[in-house]
A = this chain, B = another copy of it.
Amino acid sequence: MARPRNADTTGDTRERILRESARLFSELGYQGASTRAITEAVGIKQPSLFHYFAGKEAIGHELIAARLAPTTLLTGQFEHSEDDPALDLYRLFRNEMIVEFNETIDTRWLFRQPPAVAELFPEWGEAVEAGRSTMEAVLERGIRAGVFLPGHPKAVLELFDAIANEAMFWPRDLHSVQPDTFAEVLLRLVIADQPAIAEVVKRAQATA
Chain A residues in the interface with B (C-beta under 8 A): 25-29, 31-32, 109, 112-117, 149, 151-152, 154-156, 158-159, 162-163, 165-167, 169-170, 175-177, 181-182, 184-186, 188-190, 192-194
- Main DSSP-derived SS at the A contact region: helix
- The answer to whether A163 touches B159 (Cβ under 8 A) is yes
* CB-based contact A184/B152 at 8 Å: yes
Q: Which of B113, B159, B165 contacts A185 (CB 8 A)?
A: B159
Closest B residue to A170 by CB, please name it.
B158
Measured CB to CB, the nearest residue on chain B to A177 is B155
A181:B155 contact, CB within 8 angstroms:
yes
- Which of B162, B163, B194 contacts A192 (CB under 8 A)? B194
Q: Which residue of B lies closest to A115 (CB)?
A: B27
Cβ-neighbour of A29 out of B113, B169, B188 (below 8 A): B113
Tell me the complex Cα distance, A198–B169, Å: 33
Q: A175-B158, A177-B155 are in contact. Are A188 and B149 (CB under 8 A)?
A: yes
CA distance A188 to B190 in the complex (A): 8
